[in-house]
Amino acid sequence: MGDARPGPVPVLMYHSIGGSDRLAVRPEAFAEQLAYLKDTGYTPITFGELVRRRPATGRPVVITFDDGYADFHERALPLLDRFGFRATVFVTTGWIRDAGPYAAGRPLGRMLSWKQAEEITACGVEVGGHGHSHAQLDQLGHAVLRTELLRSKRLLEDRLGRAVTTMAYPYGYSSARVRREVRAAEYDAACAVANALPAADEDPMAVPRLTVRAGTSLTGFERALRGRGFLVDHALTKGYAVVRRSHYAVRRLRGTV
Res 1: pLDDT: 34
- Is 5 part of any domain? no
pLDDT tens for 108-139 read 999 999 999 999 999 999 999 999 999 999 99
Check which CATH number belongs to the domain holding 81 and give it.
Answer: 3.20.20.370
Phi-psi region of 209 (alpha: psi -120 to 50; beta: other; left: phi over 0): beta
Helix (H) or strand (E) run with residue 238 in it: helix 231-254
- Is 6 part of any domain? no
Res 249: pLDDT: 47
What's the alpha-carbon Rg for the chain, to the nearest Å? 18
Coil, strand or helix at 89: strand
Coil, strand or helix at 143: helix
* CA 18 – CA 3 distance, rounded (Å): 35
Coil, strand or helix at 205: coil
pLDDT tens for 23-58 read 899 999 999 999 999 999 999 999 999 999 866 667
* CA 120 – CA 72 distance, rounded (Å): 9
* CA 39 – CA 29 distance, rounded (Å): 15
pLDDT < 70 stretches in the chain: 1-6, 54-57, 231-257
* CA 49 – CA 125 distance, rounded (Å): 12
Q: What is the pTM of this model?
A: 0.88
In 3D, which of 155, 128, 19 has the Cα closest to residue 63? 128
- Is 155 part of any domain? yes
- Is 244 part of any domain? yes
Angle at 9 between CA 88 and CA 35, to 5 degrees: 65
Count of the separate structural domains present in the chain = 1
Q: Which residues, other chains included, contact 114 with Cβ-Cβ below 8 Å and sequence gap of 6+?
A: 96, 97, 98, 159
Angle at 46 between CA 44 and CA 49, to 5 degrees: 110
- Is 2 part of any domain? no
* CA 10 – CA 160 distance, rounded (Å): 27
Residue ranges making up the domain that contains 199: 11-254
Strand partners, 61: 44
In 3D, which of 106, 104, 93, 177 has the Cα closest to residue 139? 177
DSSP E strands: which ranges in 68-206? 88-91, 126-129, 166-168, 189-194
- Is 78 part of any domain? yes
* CA 160 – CA 83 distance, rounded (Å): 25
- Is 114 part of any domain? yes
Amino acid letter, residue 47: F
- Is 4 part of any domain? no
The interaxial angle of helices 142-160 and 114-122, nearest 10 deg, is 60
